[in-house]
A and B are shown apart, each in its own frame.
Chain A
Amino acid sequence: MTFSHGDAVRVASRPHDGHHRTPSYLKGKLGIVERVHESFPNPETRAYAEDGLPPQRRLYLIRFDQHAVWVDYDGPSGDGLLADVFEHWLEMPA
């Protein structure tokens, strides 16, 4: 899937055995695309003696409201958390 700045997305919450760079605290969370980065080799295959290609995977900087990430977040409602998430870990919100 391809996303644009401002799109609402959900981080997939599927289980994944082995190396991947989507932190568990973000799985299943709703965010907004803050930046569209370029594409990179896939770390999930690159970690196992493959070159992570093809294809390269698009990387996105996603912004989350802290209060949407943590049930007990102690801070103002405007606080945000941003993380780089690969396209194959992002879904349209249901």
Chain B
Amino acid sequence: MSHDHHDHDHSHDPVTTSGEPPVATRVRALEELLVEKNILQRDEILQRIDWLASRRPGDGARLVARAWVDDSFRERLLEDARQAALELGLDPGPSPVVVALENTDTVHHMVVCTLCSCYPKALLGPPPAWYKSLPYRSRAVSDPRGVLREFGLTLEENVELRVVDSTADIRYLVVPRRPSGTDSLDEEALAALVTRDSMIGVSQPLADA
């Protein structure tokens, strides 16, 4: 088994005069060639970039906040998260199936993709660098409580920690528990408490300030 090198999510190549690493030049050259060969159109690439840039965890947070205040929506979300997202006018992304995993006072979920980096990016935005990193992919399954402690979360022993390894085309989203003392908050204020990391399952939502 090869040594575990310092894991690079981002390139450490020397920067060129343009300020970008050499790999950037190669990617741009690839795009140029593909457009010249009429394999791709420049405007559809730009549209795709715009779509990526517009993806935010706020979409996932809206699903969670609605589920917190509306019990029948919560049931629909747990039944079919893709359909529930469409119901709120959100883009669930290209995955044919999205599953929402509900945390309770006895079960806590945490999501990883050990084989690559599968992630519900339509609803959460791009995955954080650490989610794609080799140590997270390794330890999230074998030492999840250790990983959670690194993220500042210590789960009680009586809480079942369920780690979900996203090995196929299903995308998983965690529905964290509603923080206590939030009865007076409206949906928008509740959504503001739902962080990206709480929907991956490595931390809890924010407590009401």
Contact = CB atoms under 8 A, between A and B. Distances in A.
Q: Do chains A and B touch in the complex (CB under 8 A)?
A: yes
Interface residues of A, number: 28
Contact of A59 (B161, B165, B170): B170
Contacts of A79: 144-145, 160-163
A91 interface: no
Interface in A70-91: 70, 73-76, 78-86
B146 interface: yes
A69 to B, nearest CB: 8
Interface residues of B, number: 24
B160 A37 contact: no
9 contacts: A21-B168, A23-B167, A35-B99, A37-B168, A63-B162, A79-B145, A80-B163, A83-B165, A84-B168
B59 to A, nearest CB: 23
Nearest to A86: B168
Contacts of B208: none
A35 to B, nearest CB: 8
A23 B99 CA distance: 21
A74 B143 contact: yes
B80 to A, nearest CB: 11
Contacts of B96: 38, 40
Interface of A: 21-23, 25, 35, 37-38, 40, 43, 59, 61, 63, 66, 69-70, 73-76, 78-86
B117 interface: no
B83 interface: no
B28 to A, nearest CB: 27
A47 B164 CA distance: 24
B97 A74 contact: no
A68 B163 CA distance: 14
Given A38-B97, A73-B142, A75-B144, A43 B168 contact: yes
A86 to B, nearest CB: 7
Contacts of B162: 63, 79-82
B34 interface: no
Given A23-B115, A25-B141, A75-B145, A81 B163 contact: yes
A79 B143 CA distance: 11
Contacts of A43: 168
